[in-house]
Amino acid sequence: MQTTLRPSGKGLSRRDLFGLGATVFGSAVARIARAGQSARRVVVWSEGTAPVDKVYPDDVNTAIAAGLRRLLPEWQVETAGLDSPEQGCTEESLQRCDVLIWWGHKRHGEVKDAYVDRIERRVKQEGMGFIAVHSAHFAKPNKRLMGTRCGWAAYKTDGCRLEVEIKEPNHPISAGVSAFTLPQIERYSEPYQVPAPDAVPLAGTYVYPDGRREPTRVGLCWTIGKGRMFYFAPGHETYPNLNRPEVQRVFANAVQWAAASR
Ligand code: ZN
């Protein structure tokens, strides 16, 4: 409802006052309803192997969470990891989780299959969103949800940069994101062994130190059962790309997109 106040001096009519009262009452009811609903919740999970003397002294998940807290103030943003109770995958936590973001690298094998079962059920049957980042392509939940080996053809840290382009500007994950460059990156070469995605909002080109160029997919989307899934290829633990505002915007968009199926 829209209420227009008359210029001062003319006073408010009975109708104005009624309208104003209804508006104030309506927004108060909406606020109470939102509070009662418990805020939407995203959990950012990490295995805890980012070097403490490098760019993510408090781990990768903390950096991703900081961007989400800045851009999604209405969301409840939490972090979890291998050392959390039940490896950060308690039933209670997953039940309240609208979107789970996962970063792992060296400790994929330590994640218990029982917890992967829970994640799979929450995504496929109950519509929880799942976002895998960079080296989490080999994480158990990522492989389970994709149903494929999830390998890339090559892995190189050879001084490449990545020029990211917005392939699908109308996709929600592209909202407010312009083309940007990540000056240092770990290169994952195509093909990425996954099912055909529903959408590839972000693509890009690796540019080698000698100028050679190699195209790649950067951000891929799938629907898995009732859930939405996004994979973001950059995110190596020794480059500060996850702190960049463009990347933080992509994550905030991806969280909102992945939660939308619920
Ligand atoms: Zn890496």
Task: Report the chain's mean pLDDT, rounded to a whole number.
Answer: 89
> Is 174 contained in some domain?
yes
Q: Among 29-38, 55-64, 160-169, 234-243, whose mean pLDDT is lowest?
A: 29-38
- Cα distances (Å, whole numbers) of residue 15 to 2, 32, 174: 13, 26, 44
Question: Collapsing DSSP states into helix, strand and coil, what is residue 176?
Answer: coil
Categorize the per-residue pLDDT at 54 as very low, low, confident or very high, splitting at 50, 70 and 90: confident
Instruction: List pLDDT tens digits, range 211-240.
Output: 999 999 999 999 999 999 999 999 999 999
Categorize the per-residue pLDDT at 15 as very low, low, confident or very high, splitting at 50, 70 and 90: low
pTM score, two decimals? 0.86
**Quick check: 127 pLDDT over 70?**
yes
> Is 16 contained in some domain?
no
- Note residues around ion ligand 1 (Cβ under 5 angstroms): 135, 186, 236
Q: Tell me how far the alpha carbon of residue 235 lies from the centroid of ligand 1, in angstroms.
A: 7
> Is 233 contained in some domain?
yes
> Is 20 contained in some domain?
no
Range of the domain at 185: 39-259
Q: Tell me how far the alpha carbon of residue 233 lies from the centroid of ligand 1, in angstroms.
A: 9
Instruction: Indicate which CATH number applies to the domain containing 192.
Output: 3.40.50.880
Contact 241, 235 (CB under 8 A): yes
Q: Among 4-13, 37-46, 230-239, 240-249, whose mean pLDDT is lowest?
A: 4-13
Q: Tell me how far the alpha carbon of residue 151 lies from the centroid of ligand 1, in angstroms.
A: 13
CB neighbour list of residue 91: distance below 8 Å, 6 or more residues apart: 118
Tell me how many domains the chain contains. Answer: 1
Ordered strands of the 180-182 beta sheet: 76-81, 41-46, 99-103, 129-133, 227-232, 213-224, 199-207, 161-166, 180-182
Measured CA to CA, the distance from residue 35 to residue 68 in angstroms comes to: 20
Q: Tell me how far the alpha carbon of residue 48 lies from the centroid of ligand 1, in angstroms.
A: 14
Q: Tell me how far the alpha carbon of residue 25 lies from the centroid of ligand 1, in angstroms.
A: 52
> Is 50 contained in some domain?
yes
> Is 13 contained in some domain?
no
Looking at the chain, the whole-number percentage of residues with pLDDT higher than 70 is 85
Instruction: List pLDDT tens digits, range 68-121.
Output: 999 999 999 999 999 999 999 999 999 999 999 999 999 999 999 999 999 999
pLDDT at 159: 86
Q: Tell me how far the alpha carbon of residue 125 lies from the centroid of ligand 1, in angstroms.
A: 31
Q: Tell me how far the alpha carbon of residue 134 lies from the centroid of ligand 1, in angstroms.
A: 6
CB neighbour list of residue 55: distance below 8 Å, 6 or more residues apart: 237, 238, 239, 240, 243
> Is 3 contained in some domain?
no
> Is 17 contained in some domain?
no
Q: Tell me how far the alpha carbon of residue 192 lies from the centroid of ligand 1, in angstroms.
A: 15
Question: Collapsing DSSP states into helix, strand and coil, what is residue 50?
Answer: coil
Query: CA dihedral defined by 103, 107, 109, 115, rounded to 10 degrees?
Result: -50
